[in-house]
Structure 1
Amino acid sequence: MAMIWVDADACPKAIKEILLRASKRTGIEITFVANHHIPIPSGYPQVKSVTVSTGFDVADDLIEEQSEPNDLVITQDIPLADAVLTKGAKVINTRGQSLTKENIKQRLNMRDFLEMMRSSGVQTGGPKALCPREIQDFANVLDRWLAKIPK
């Protein structure tokens, strides 16, 4: 049965709350993976938190290894998204954007370009804060995915 994997190190609180409500409503299994403890409130038996050791891409590696076709992975990490898409998982970012085999290469190219700019000393700035519309977009995309999975 499909489940949700969350790259939780940088997952905003509002997104975690939406995921918890979705699990309560539908019974979907969710695993938050991070290099620090993610507290799960009581009353969510199908939600767990996995704490991995500190290190480069340790959480990503676990998600890549454990995710299966038709699982949903929530991440902002473009290389992780690419890896799990190759396995047949679905991916959305915390802004409610679906990452697909059709658009992931463009995202990888942009990520690599920005990384090259930063390494040459150009200040590219960080991501902007989530706005209410993006939070709603995330909830809508999540609901559409939940409606499609076999019960």
Structure 2
Amino acid sequence: MGVIYVDADACPVKAEAEAVATRHRTQIAFVSNGGLRPSQNPLVQMIYVDQGADVADMWIAERAGTGDVVITNDIPLAAKCVAAGARVLRPDGERLTEANIGNVLATRDLMADLRAADPFRQGGGRAFSRADRARFSEALECELRAAARG
């Protein structure tokens, strides 16, 4: 069994990820630019990287591979991790794989272009819900069981 890497700066499911990792007795690394409280859990490793764009993403991408699970909402990071053989989950429980990462990247780029074309566009997506948290926890359980099977 590998490591769970969490792109932790804006991750809304840190507590859920730690709880699932603890149940599975799996190492988990929260990677951030700082500002996270240390955990007393011996399975948790807090990784503080330098400030700067994508420094945490690069740290994760350099280490994640087969047998690891990566939790991120960063699509370019997800693509690198999928290519390296890691299992990737978004905080809402969506699994990113070789089969869907291309479409997810294309959609991300299209949405960035649409936002750039309409600077008055207001609002973001829907609020993160309790159902999203539950879906994430179940998806992480499934990924850890699948990773343990090889």
Q: How many residue pairs end up in the alignment?
A: 148
State the distance in 1 between where 2:122 and 2:84 align.
31
Residue identity over aligned pairs, in percent, reads 35
Tell me the secondary structure at the aligned position of residue 10 of structure 1.
coil
Gaps of 5+ in 2: none
1:82 aligns with 79
Displaced runs of 4 or more, over 6 A: none
> Are the equivalent residues in 2 in contact too, given 1:34–1:50 (CA < 8 A)?
yes
Tell me the secondary structure at the aligned position of residue 142 of structure 1.
helix
Amino acid at match of 1:16: K
State the distance in 1 between where 2:146 and 2:134 align.
19
Query: How does 1:1-151 map onto structure 2 within 5 Å?
Result: 1-12=1-12, 15-42=13-40, 44-122=41-119, 123=121, 125-150=123-148
Gaps of 5+ in 1: none
Deviations 1:80-103 (A, max 9, x none): 100110000010100001011111
CA RMSD of aligned residues (A): 1.5
Query: Shift of the alpha carbon at 1:124?
Result: 5.9
Moved more, 117-126 or 18-27: 117-126
TM-score by length of 2: 0.91
Query: Shift of the alpha carbon at 1:23?
Result: 2.5
Q: 1:34 to 1:127 in 2, by over 3 A?
A: farther
Tell me the secondary structure at the aligned position of residue 66 of structure 2.
coil
Amino acid at match of 1:34: S
